[in-house]
Amino acid sequence: MKEKGESIAEESVNSIFDKDNFFSVYSNDVMNAAREILIVSPFITRKRTLQMMKYLTVALENKVRVIVVTRPGEDFKEKDRSRIQETVDIMKNAGISIIFKSQIHQKYAVIDQRLVRYGSINLLSFGNAEESIMRLDSLNIASELTCSIENM
């Protein structure tokens, strides 16, 4: 595990990752967050959320504000709603703020209003599909994404 504040290799900034190689750099970004983590993931699964909780807990212990934006249970089939609620409860009980936005499709994370992950990978339910995600260091893009979700 990297020490808090240790920088990531320069070649991993402004890069595109796939489902096989993004997780280690993403989890490190989460653990090294200093102020805030915003995760927009329309879909959440218990398995992936529990996997991420190891890293999100480090951020929470470091007094980082963690916000997750996801779809409400009503957006899903009735048979899936209790599993989704259980996963939401895991995050809420850890101190994560949950915001529900119906019918969102974007998938991204913004860390410290600067470091952006944007692509087709659901960050709290990523699976086996051939998906990709960009990692960018951009105040402007971070601001645009944050404003876009606030205005939905």
Token pair in block for residue 47? 């398995």
CATH of domain 17-150: 3.30.870.10
Q: What residue segments make up the domains of the chain, in order of their start?
A: 17-150
Q: Average of pLDDT values for 129-139?
A: 91
CA distance 66 to 49: 13
Residue 107: pLDDT over 80: yes
Give the pLDDT of residue 151: 75
CA distance 140 to 122: 22
Give the pLDDT of residue 126: 67
| Percent of the chain with pLDDT strictly greater than 90 | 68
> Which carries the bigger pLDDT value, residue 146 or residue 128?
146
pTM: 0.89
pLDDT tens for each residue of 73-100: 888 889 989 999 999 999 999 999 999 9
